Structure 1
């Protein structure tokens, strides 16, 4: 009985010891132990939950202070071993009454953390609880904040899914929020100014809230194609850096071009000053030229119809052009010779028309006399004519140009070969 009593007492002590240490560790079970260093652990208590991806993976042990830093032990389930050195450890509130838990955002590019390794302070952070944030406001600011939250609640009513989509599409924005709020908290008057400014903006926007709401519709419609074609936009952004690098390499050439263009613009400036008046005159000219342009349109249409026949004529004439050129070359001396006697041809025409006004009794107007060739017909007649006293004629069968009009006329009543002279 004494042995059984001692055995029972020993088992009781063992179970008491196990039960006493069970919150810290369970005998026979393995753990993955790490340390985390915080600049501000935000009142993390022993046995606070450690979560990874929303799941409870361990607990906090032995919160303490070493060299002005908060150090906590993280007792984790070994199946999550090893974490990477770029993992982020963050103290977050579980509720609005001050209960905290530690959240781990698992890294992917760092080196593996071994048993007992410490996560440095640059990879840890702590969020501010809502009660602490509101505690920095004075009573008037807290009332205004309450009103702001109420109005925000009305604004987000029935828009939970849209809010979830926004939060899901902007994780980076939410990660940066703590640094922005930390900057505001470092300045004692910034938070109050921020809230007062937000209240003024909300009051100013309240009368036109419906217009503002409707005003976002065009922007939403304009941005919808970017959302629908997200893959194409992502591909464009991926290709943008090489394109920008190439463009930056071409910038010196572009700079020279811009410099030359600037000089050109300065030289063109006087011309541009005169351009308005010139444009007005051109406009007036075009207005006055409308009838002529209409006639020119008709002419151009007719010319268009004549293009093909002209081309056919040129194709037909092209083979004989060498012969025609030779003929024209041979005719050039004759034409040049005759051209000198232009006034004689004109005089001949005038005398021919005078001759046609006379006729014989038979109605004939043209008479041809066949003369026996004599030396005079070749060398010209020099001396007196038969039946004509002292009258003389000085005539040459080949007079110089316009010389025949200056010759001495035959006296009235004289006869040449039995015909009256004139």
Structure 2
């Protein structure tokens, strides 16, 4: 009976040729990786680059693989620095995403530190032609910054010692002042341009520079014994300016908003001037009133003292009026629904009232005649007497009809005379009446 282990095929030994090929493959791959690693500082296989050349009249201490920066960012490296026809030439290997640079770009060798390490800084142009692959930036568009060690090399030993002391003290003064230092550096270009103009004016005058230096030395020597007093003298100013430093963001926001505010205020100044003039005139006219003010206030005080009893009595009246307010409001609420009908009634009565109003004098005359009639009473208390008269044309046709029927030439009366013309009609030739006053 076979077991599970007996069914498994026995392992076979590999041939010698296969083992040699496998070893050669391993050695080849190792050599490839070594070659890639050895050449990696210069280029990485499979990656593209934007290659340019730059010529310099002075590119001291620029070394292979030095950084190439554009706008403060590392965008490539320096390769193969060499001398060609008396000029320093370097290859610039740049990331292709910054391709192409313009022909008016400026290349500068700048120090990374005070110990001589350099890097290449590119200021990209804007109006030039695009630089193709392998193009050369001429020396007219390149420059190099003097390193600090070269500058210090021009000083004598005593000056270098003093410079070291100055730098140490300067470092202590700049401790924890990074933000202020950044702002100062940002403002430095404008300050240096102004300084250049001042120093240029000094240099144009003979012996002006020497006198300036000697005067500065004398001023510094004079101030040295009292430097502590000078420092303490600025303490109040520093304390006064501290709130502005602590509230720098708010002050900056205020200053940012100030131009627009001042512009708006400037456009409004004519209106403000007019207002000020009107206010000045008003103040001038108010001066007599204010002069009479004390006397008027005294009289008002006397009036209030005399009015005290009346005001005390008025308190009871106001209390009664207060109790009448609620019933009055309830009455108004009750009558409010009737106001539309009352308004309609008044509108309907308006023509009649207007007509009767024009006969006001006739109503007054009627009342006076009625009063005269009531004055003739008898002993039994009777006030009205009726006399029976013989029938006549007047009783049937009215005054105008009777006059026309009998041809009377006496005074005739109209049953509808104009306002205030009663008893003023004159007979007409035809027996009618003519109004003395036309109805108007």
| TM-score of the superposed pair, with normalisation by structure 2 | 0.42
| TM-score of the superposed pair, with normalisation by structure 1 | 0.44
